[in-house]
Structure 1
């Protein structure tokens, strides 16, 4: 039945319709369909033509789709899964449990050897499987649920206690969700992070990332690596590569939706060595085992289709996807306000007054400034010389050589020698 729609290349369940005046989208999952467009009359015609050929029921404005509740207000579109949470608590017989304000205990880490084996692991697997679907609207659960999934093959009593803690947290926050607000900017920004050798059993790393479209959080991921990383830079750069791949997919999707941005996506990383490696054109013996990720990311950076920048650890949003945080509330405050890079603390250094704005808005103190300069030095070497002067340049290069030489695999040493010459 010709309706003028074509299948999107980035998502086989999405169908697009574009003319000079009308734009429409159809999102299909089995027998559930969402219609979107800028012309109500055109959408009515499409629904009418489909009803002539298929038994189709029009449910009106979007309010419920695949367990996700959608509600509109003057503030934007709010997505939640409160009814799904209530059903899950009843299934686990936890509807009257004592609420907790965090999904993960900060006092201990889980191991496969903790506790006694469960006599019937069915309930554990059933509940954890259901929790995975809940992360669609609850990004703060991604790390806790991913960690619980790692013990599906042999859950123990300790693992079940950890899962019950997640449920008790849901008992405390059944109505939390995601808010999508209108945004003046449609630029993509991403944060990536890694917890090097964080697993006590096999010392594999956990990686995570989150992506914002304007001010709205649109994608996130928490995952344990399949191989052991030999250095923190390796694990951080693997996280960078995963986030870069997701950004490429989003760029492709937005292109098909005919949404463009004049600025390339920005990927924020709190590892200075990994940040510099993305722009360094020289290979080293210590980076040969991650050359595929290096080439993939460097190609995007060289084409100026991706900008990688340093962000201080205390402003790293992706931390919540890789490790246990003491204050989960900081994640909500950061993701809701998006003010983490608008701080302009007075640091009392004359040199700071001459720092370009694109470096200054990320700095908390002079040490962070030094790291930022080293991280973006490949592109700003003349600018750095201009506002730093020889003495300041020598001082901060020496500091960074001492702090980051071992981790960066020699990259900073070469950089320092180049600048000092």
Structure 2
């Protein structure tokens, strides 16, 4: 793949492949390459969604999955000098974006959660992960994503307190689903969501105690969108820039 033609995105905006495809004849090669890619994702959050999707098929990769691997490598070929940029920030506040792709997997209809946590203007934590259970509504899927980012922000706050760097203000969580934001603050809505596990009310307790503030953000401004689904080239490039994944090659 050294001389391959670069691509502008790591994932095509198409539906996921089905398990009925022909099995790849060299699964060891698939495992080796995908296993190596996990180290690159440490500084490349733009690869998180694609890597998460590839890892879901480690047990029985197909020829279509191998094609997805090669697409990721072609994207990397064109962005070899890209990395996560960290810069001095005048703010030490914590804000995070959470999103989900409801029933995005055509095989088991499970949703994909994604989040991005910022300390000031710098991205410090991110996630792309398939949810463990099937969500019965988009609101439930988004609420599960809020739980994931709430747990992560709680850990970040704890770490900053130990280091003596915590500003003391509430963390701001941004979600593009109004139903999920209402669930965080209005206990009346929980009568309609008894099928949601008790641990999902973790977010509401954090909001009630003043540790978190959950606000609505439009889908257009939802930065975590890049962690939940394949995107078109303009949308992917715009979100990648907002995550501070930029070229590290000095300008001439």
TM over 0.5: yes
Shift of 1:290: 1.9
CA contact (8 A) 1:193 1:319 kept: yes
Structure 1 residue matching 2:11: 3-state secondary structure: coil
Q: Which residue of 2 aligns with 1:334?
A: 242
CA contact (8 A) 1:192 1:210 kept: yes
Structure 1 residue matching 2:211: 3-state secondary structure: coil
Rounded to whole Å, the distance in 2 between the matches of 1:209 and 1:186 is 19
Shift of 1:283: 4.9
Shift of 1:263: 2.0
Shift of 1:161: 0.5
Shift of 1:291: 4.5
CA contact (8 A) 1:238 1:293 kept: no
User: 2:102 is matched with which residue: 196, 202, 210?
Assistant: 196
Q: Are residues 1:104 and 2:11 paired?
A: yes
Shift of 1:287: 1.1
Rounded to whole Å, the distance in 1 between the matches of 2:3 and 2:206 is 51
User: 1:145 is matched with which residue: 51, 56, 60?
Assistant: 51
User: 1:250 is matched with which residue: 156, 170, 181?
Assistant: 156
Q: Which residue of 2 aligns with 1:128?
A: 34
String of CA shifts for 1:66-93, please: whole Å, max 9, x gaps: xxxxxxxxxxxxxxxxxxxxxxxxxxxx
CA contact (8 A) 2:123 2:244 kept: no
String of CA shifts for 1:164-207, please: whole Å, max 9, x gaps: 00001111101100111111100011000001100010101100
Rounded to whole Å, the distance in 2 between the matches of 1:253 and 1:293 is 22
User: 1:182 is matched with which residue: 81, 88, 91?
Assistant: 88
TM-score normalized with structure 1 length: 0.56
Q: Which residue of 1 aligns with 2:198?
A: 292
Q: Which residue of 2 aligns with 1:172?
A: 78
Structure 1 residue matching 2:224: 3-state secondary structure: helix
Q: Are residues 1:214 and 2:128 paired?
A: no
Distance of aligned partners of 1:298 and 1:284 in 2 relative to their CA distance in 1, 3 Å threshold: closer
Shift of 1:285: 4.0
Shift of 1:210: 0.5
Task: Could you tell me which runs of 5 or more consecutive residues in structure 1 were left unpaired when the two chains were aligned.
Answer: 1-93, 338-421
CA contact (8 A) 2:182 2:189 kept: no
Rounded to whole Å, the distance in 2 between the matches of 1:253 and 1:138 is 23
Rounded to whole Å, the distance in 1 between the matches of 2:240 and 2:51 is 18
Q: Looking at both structures, which has the greater relative contact order when contacts are Cα pairs under 8 Å and sequence separation is at least 6? A: 2
User: 1:273 is matched with which residue: 154, 179, 185?
Assistant: 179
Two-structure CA RMSD over aligned residues (Å):
1.4
Rounded to whole Å, the distance in 2 between the matches of 1:136 and 1:256 is 23
Distance of aligned partners of 1:295 and 1:108 in 2 relative to their CA distance in 1, 3 Å threshold: closer
Rounded to whole Å, the distance in 2 between the matches of 1:127 and 1:288 is 43
Rounded to whole Å, the distance in 2 between the matches of 1:304 and 1:121 is 50
TM-score normalized with structure 2 length: 0.93
Rounded to whole Å, the distance in 1 between the matches of 2:239 and 2:18 is 26
Greater Cα shift, 115-124 or 271-280? 115-124
